[in-house]
Structure 1
Amino acid sequence: MNLSNIPSKKKTAIIYSSVFLLAIITLVACIVIIAKFDSSQSKIWAAAVVGLTISAIIASVVGLLLVRMYWSQNAIVKKSFNFFMDEVVSHNSLGLIIYDNNFIILWTSSFIKNRFGRKWVGYSLAEFFNHYETHFDNNLQSLNFKDNESFYHAEIWPLKNCISIKDITLEQNMIQVYSNQLPVIGEVEIDNYQLYHSILSKEELYRVNQEFIAILDELVSNYNFVYRQYTNGKFLVFTNKESIDKMASIDFNFFSKIHSALKNSKINNHLISISAGFALGYQNLWEKTEQAKNALLQAQSRGGDQVAIFSNTERPKYFGSSSEILYDISRTKIKRIADLIEGKLRDPKIKKVICYGHANADLDAIGSALGIWALAKEYNKESYICSITQDSTTESAIEKIIPKDEEIFIRPQVANKITDESTLVFLLDNSQIDRTDNKDCINNTKVNNIFILDHHRLGTSVDFCPSVNRYIDSAASSASEIVTEILMFVQRRISLKPFIAQMLLNGIYLDTLQFTKKVNARTFMAAGWLEEKGANSAKSSEILKIDEDTWNDVNDVLENIQEVKPGYFLAYKDIPLSNDVISIASEEILKISNRKAAFVIAKLKGTKFYKMSARGLDVNVQLIAEAVGGGGHFGTAAAVSSEDFATFIDNVKQAIVSEKNESYTN
């Protein structure tokens, strides 16, 4: 063997091994000699003992040297490998935590030490994650948390008693950048622009347009925003999600600047407003454009002066609505829907008409349904109203006014059995299927045979009904007013029975508080036409009078009244009351001056639900009702909840306190 080519450490190992082997051989030989020769042969035996001792010492020393050399080399290799692996893992923004069966941290990698400190050994995993405001659960498989400006993703390996933590800041930032730059398409329009064309002078109209352009130009300066006008008073806009989020953070309040466009005009009582619809998240631009149009229509259907944002990943969002827009004196829209309904009724393929109001129907729901019922009868169609729940006032009116021999009302089971493609379905004083007495009301009919006639602001999308078949006018006093105008505009001469006219007038009287609110010229014209057809205003007033028991119920629920915030009063009691009594109680609160809004909560009689009735004077109580799952009108709204009484009250209080844009101060 040529030792010159062998490394020094290996030479040493060979020498140690040879010496160790020689010592072992000597040791064995000495043991054999001692075994064969007895102590009488003293010299040989003594030499063997000495050889045994020396060889044992040499073998032990050399053996220890060999073990030490191997252990040292192995430790160096292991240390270097572990260090290298830890560095590689840390370099890739990944750290490890090892814990025991009690979830106490035993060891942390250098990445964990560098990012989160060296103090965590001995602490529990719950304490570690709580420090970064993240809840740790033993059953979790992964979780995300944030420290300063860095984002982390933790994978939990319970069988290995190990947690890996990865820095995902780059990925999160890339996702955020991508999200911020998502294109958004919108439509912005001056509410009732065509109406202003007819009532404003050219100078005033020019001033309104200039104010509108100034607002849009300001948006161009402050945001990633461009616009193009494609017709008078209406603009197509392009922006991105980051800009929309910034605008939403200030509730799009820049649009309210146009309210004062006619401040110095002779007709400064006209409040100019803007509605806008934005669409984001949709992949195709044409779909995004259509959704922007739908969002604008939704904003205007809710009463205008607001912004609606539609997305394919979350529920619609609404902003603004701090005022009620000027009602449209033009009757072209009501004439169009009247012609459309009449055209359907002339169609020989249409055999049946079924009308639905809302559950716990009031006088307006039943009155408007009776109007359509009567119109269908004029065209010899089978006509019915599906309603099984009414408030006490309406039950009394039906009992007193509607003749017993009229076959009008049917139950949901019967309605479902006779509904088919030859059936027209009307939703009246309501635009939501789940608020009727029959959740399956449109299942068997054709989409083009569904109509909505309502005066409440839309809370959710109504895509189940074609847009041409909807007439939703929040400026109308009631659904009964809308149906009365339809009866006035149909081409066929209607021989309206007096009890139908009376129920329609009752509906108008109810929703206008006997012509004390939400009244315009069209309301008086509709009421006058109904009087000509046999309705009597004195009877309507009499129907709305409450008896002594109802008065006691109202006083009972109003005993516990409190001012939640200045001008906003809430009364509640866990007693069963009918729908109309709860509404009457909220109206009573506002009969005292300097009160802006009233809210009354009680249990709906015969159900497990609680109802909140809301009323407002120049206050948008609809926004507050929507916050607790309800909806309605600018000044009249309601909500029904299956929550327990205390929770529902707390949620209503929170909604009242939190809502900041209910009213508009000029």
Structure 2
Amino acid sequence: MEQYLNRKMMLLILPYLFLIVVLVAAIIDPSTILMIVLTILVLTTIAMHITFYIKFYTHENKTKEISDLTYRVKKIGAHAFNRFPIAIISYTDDHKVDWANFNAKSIFGEKIAKKHLNKICPSLYEKLSATDYTAEIHEQIYDVVNYHDKRLLYLVNVTSRQAAINEFYAKRLAVGYLNIDNYEDAVSELNEQKRSILNGTLNTFVMGWAKSEQIYAKSYSDAKYMLVLEYQKLLDVMHKKFEVLNRIKRISDKFDVTLTLSIGIACNEHNPYQMSEKALEILDLTQNRGGDQAAVQIDDQDIRFFGGKSNMVEKRNKVRARVVATELDELIEDASNVIVMPHKIPDTDAFGAATGVLNIVNRKGKDCFIVDDIRERDKTLDKVFSYLQENDSNILRSVVTPQIAMEICNKHTLLIVVDTQNPDLVVEQKLLSKAGTLVVIDHHRRGKRYIESPDLIYTETYASSTAELITEIIEYYPQKVVIPDITATCMLAGIVVDTNNFTYRTGSRTFDAASYLRKHGANTLEVQTMLRESYEEHLIRAELFEKVELTPYDMAIVVAEDMEDLTKIKLAQTADWLLMIENVKASFVIGKIEGNVVGISSRSFGEVNVQLIMEKLGGGGHLNNAATQLENITPFEARNLLVAKIEEYIEEVGNNEGHTT
């Protein structure tokens, strides 16, 4: 500033010096020119003098204003630091407080200086590496902004805002659907009077439960209800584990019928129509899993399942099989060719079902191929292939590798997936998107991962096997389909293996299907020959029995740590045999089945839902018969993972029983 004034003064003095020189010259020689120059200099000097003083005083006033403003800003800043609703904390490199404003001290106390942030507030310190986060402090919610470079924390109390958000979410609506399973079969056995009483009892029961939970329920068809409820009420019902699933069993016992519930609920930000569509999709999922359960999806979270503790009741009405047979016939008619794809490492049921489909397509005069990866084939299935080779079966000419299947497949191809609904488990996943039309036929309960939007899906979890379902489709196909004896034998082998010689999940329709296949030449002796074990395999079984580990929950676990090339059949048979041990409620057999793939086969008599446990490991199946496959893991590591999931299951079941009434 001083240098600036000195320069201004020098510029002001110079004209005066020049004026003096000209004035002296004019006195010595008073000519007209000198007088004019003198006049100009005088006027210029006066003008410069006036300009200087104007600028000087203006600058001085601005300097004073800036000084006043700086003082006021500092005063306002000091007031803001201490009075604005923002807590500010400055901390050192070692996370100790070196300064805090009034609001920070009102939250954490006056004497917080020099204290470590972790001692002042652990929840604040735990997230210190983040830039923006939320912390709960003394039952209040704060938004925290951390300026790492300046080591400053800004805290804003947002408790009121969070309360408003929570209230909004608590009041948002969820849409659901409730169906009474097996209703038609149940009422068909009752006379008119009992049927009327049962209908009234069921309606009173459902509406009473809905009212007690503050749920709006509206019946839109026999044994079908639409549900509308608030998000907070949905959480309450979930906390109670949908106790209504257990309470309906009292009505079943009273009327001597078998009734269960299927419930699907969606809660998201979409419009009511989209939410309703999602709820129907979830309801369909629960029914494909066997019913007697509720499924809930909140926003984009994973679907949560409740219940599912009972086996699905066999349906005596075969109308669905007839409808599927007709729809399948139309799809085959419109296709240029057909590819049948089982799951990875196919077993006798998957391959037997595939041969049945092959026979249907051949009846229509269309090309049909079965996808099989010889590198991933169950050893028991090798015996089936040997049987086909010995009989020079045409089936072998229709078996192709995944690579050839990809070349054959086009937008006019019909792809039929059998014995699985999980896209991760099919032989060649790329075929799912390449084929123009898609059909899924399976008897397993649907898991969280499933093939989406097929053109036709036929899943009946009451069925013993997929081969049983294909047999019924053949039986009710619009045109007569003659099954060759070799095909019938392969399909019967699938039923025998999946039922463990008609022990598990065997209903009257299972025997009907077996009888139908037997009439068409199925050779039961050949089936038993295929499934016979060698002497070495019997030794393996004995060795597996020596490895039995009994858990505190009366479950038997076998880990085949040092045993290579076990088959899924061997694991399943061992699990079956383990159930023969007294007091064993569930069995699990773990071993390598192919390369780096570890298989787990599980069985139970129904008291333990092994399907729920296997689902936690990415597998699935049925309540008393389920399995999974894990990659890049050792059998012992798989055992530890299994034990952890069993613990989870036991805890969930305990909570569920605690909420039942």
- When normalised by structure 1's length, the TM-score is 0.82
Q: Does the Cα contact within 8 Å between 1:186 and 1:279 map onto a contact in 2? A: yes
| 2:270 corresponds to | 283
Cα distance change, pair 88–216 in 1 and its aligned pair in 2 (3 A):
farther
Aligned to 1:465: 453
Q: Equivalent residue for 1:611?
A: 599
Query: Matched residues in 2 for 1:463 and 1:396: separation?
Result: 30
CA deviations on 1:251-295 (whole Å, 9 max, x unpaired) are: 101231111213244xx3x43111111121042211111122111
Q: Tell me if 1:231 matches 2:221.
A: yes
* Amino acid aligned to 1:511: D
Residue 216 of structure 1: aligned partner:
206
Match of 1:629 in 2: 618
Partner in structure 2 of residue 263 of structure 1? 253
C-alpha distance in structure 1 between counterparts of 2:96 and 2:538, whole Å: 66
Return the offset for 1:338: 0.5
Partner of residue 300, structure 2:
313
In structure 2, C-alpha distance between the alignment counterparts of 1:120 and 1:547, rounded to whole Å: 78
**1:151 counterpart = 2:131:** no
* TM-score, normalised with respect to structure 2: 0.82
Contact 1:358 1:430 in 2 (8 A): yes
Q: Match of 1:331?
A: 318
Q: Partners of 2:481 and 2:224 in 1: how far apart?
A: 39
Q: Which residue of 2 aligns with 1:571?
A: 558
**After the TM superposition, which residues 379-390 of structure 1 pair with which residues of structure 2 at under 5 Å, given as runs?**
379-388=364-373, 389-390=376-377
Deviations 1:512-535 (A, max 9, x none): 110111111111111011111111
Determine the C-alpha separation between the residues in 2 that align with 1:379 and 1:253: 50
Whole-angstrom CA distance in 1 between matches of 2:98 and 2:541: 67
8 Å contact 1:357–1:366 — kept in the other structure?
yes
- Alpha carbons of structure 1 residues 583 and 110: separation in structure 2 relative to 1, 3 Å: farther
1:148 shift after superposition: 4.5
Tell me which residue corresponds to 1:171. Answer: 161
C-alpha displacement of 1:211: 4.1
CA contact (8 A) 1:477 1:523 kept: yes
What stretches of structure 2 of length at least 5 have no aligned partner? 1-67
CA offset at residue 475 of structure 1?
0.3
Aligned partner of 2:127 in structure 1 is 136
Equivalent residue number for residue 205 of structure 1: 195
Q: Residue 576 of structure 2 is aligned with which of 578, 581, 587?
A: 587
Q: Secondary structure at the match of 2:429?
A: coil
Query: Where in structure 2 are the equivalents of 1:368-387 lying within 5 Å?
Result: 368-387=353-372
C-alpha distance in structure 1 between counterparts of 2:526 and 2:460, whole Å: 27
Q: How many residues align?
A: 580
Write the letter of the residue equivalent to 1:465.
S
Partner amino acid, structure 1, of 2:113: V
CA drift of 1:413 comes to: 1.3
Task: Provide the C-alpha distance between the structure 1 equivalents of 2:182 and 2:620, rounded to a whole number of angstroms.
Answer: 23
Deviates more, 1:436-445 or 1:633-642: 633-642
Partner of 2:106: 114
- After alignment, is 207-216 or 566-575 more displaced? 207-216
Does the CA contact (< 8 Å) of 1:298 and 1:461 recur in 2? no
SS of the residue corresponding to residue 357 of structure 2 reads helix
Q: Once the two structures are superposed, what CA deviation does each residue of 1:130-185 show, in whole Å capped at 9, x if it has no partner?
A: x23873354x2223222343222222111111121222222222221111111111
1:230 is aligned with what amino acid? Answer: Y
The CA deviation string for residues 29-59 of structure 1, in whole angstroms up to 9 with x for no partner, is: xxxxxxxxxxxxxxxxxxxxxxxxxxxxxxx
Shift of 1:501: 0.4
Alignment of 1:454-603 (within 5 A): 454-460=442-448, 462=450, 464-466=452-454, 469-575=456-562, 576=564, 577-603=566-592
Q: Is the 8 A contact 2:83 2:102 kept in 1?
A: no
Question: SS of the residue aligned with 2:252?
Answer: coil
Residue pair 2:117, 2:124 contacting (<8 A) in 1 also? no
* CA distance in 2 between partners of 1:74 and 1:432 (Å): 72
Partners of 2:340 and 2:226 in 1: CA distance:
38
How far 1:567 sits from its partner (Å)? 2.8
Q: CA RMSD in A?
A: 2.7
In 2: Cα distance, 1:164 partner to 1:114 partner: 14
Give CA deviations for 1:315-357 in whole Å, capped at 9, x if unaligned.
Answer: 222111111232110001010000111122233xx22111111
Percent identity between the aligned chains?
A: 22
Partners of 1:429 and 1:228 in 2: CA distance: 37
Residue type matched to 2:98 in 1? L
Distance 1:166 1:629, change over 3 A: farther
What is the CA distance between 1:118 and its match in structure 2? 4.1
User: For 1:661 and 1:298, how far apart are their aligned partners in 2?
Assistant: 21
Q: Conserved in 2, the CA contact under 8 Å of 1:429 and 1:455?
A: yes
In the TM superposition, residue 462 of structure 1 has moved relative to its aligned partner by 4.2
Compared with structure 1, are the counterparts of its residues 526 and 251 closer, same or farther at alpha carbon in structure 2 (3 Å cutoff)? same
Q: Answer yes or no: is the 8 Å Cα contact 1:282–1:311 preserved in 2.
A: no
SS in structure 2 opposite 1:527? helix
The answer as to whether partners of 2:371 and 2:401 remain within 8 angstroms in 1 is yes
**Structure-2 residue corresponding to 1:69:** none
Aligned with 1:258: secondary structure? Answer: helix
Q: Counterpart in 1 of 2:25?
A: none
* Pairing 1:87–2:82 present: yes
Change (3 A) 1:563 1:214: farther
User: Is the contact made by 2:131 and 2:147 (CA closer than 8 Å) also made in structure 1?
Assistant: yes
Give the Cα–Cα distance (whole angstroms) in 2 for the partners of residues 114 and 551 of structure 1: 77
